[in-house]
Amino acid sequence: MPEVTPFQVLIVDDHPLMRRGIRQLLELDPAFHVVAEAGDGRVRSIWRIALSPI
């Protein structure tokens, strides 16, 4: 079976408990790789630019 590259995920939510729960859920599935978390949309914009494929 060919190796599949997992989806890179940036979790953005203003509640730390929600971010933790979402991370734990995604880490159960090898199809996802959480690369970062952010607490607000402004940080999300910076990460989106930084993580965009070239």
Residues 52, 41, 4, 26, Cα dihedral to 10°: 160
Q: If pLDDT is split at 50, 70 and 90, which confidence band does 20 have?
A: very high
Which residues, 6 or more positions from 7, have their beta carbon under 8 angstroms from its beta carbon?
31, 32, 33
Report the alpha-carbon distance of residue 19 to residue 37 in Å, rounded.
7
pLDDT at 35 (0 to 100): 87
Q: pTM for this one?
A: 0.72
**Mind giving me the DSSP string for 27-51?**
HTSTTEEEEEEESSHHHHHHHHHHH
Most confident of 3-12, 15-24, 28-37: 15-24
CB 23 within 8 Å of CB 34:
yes
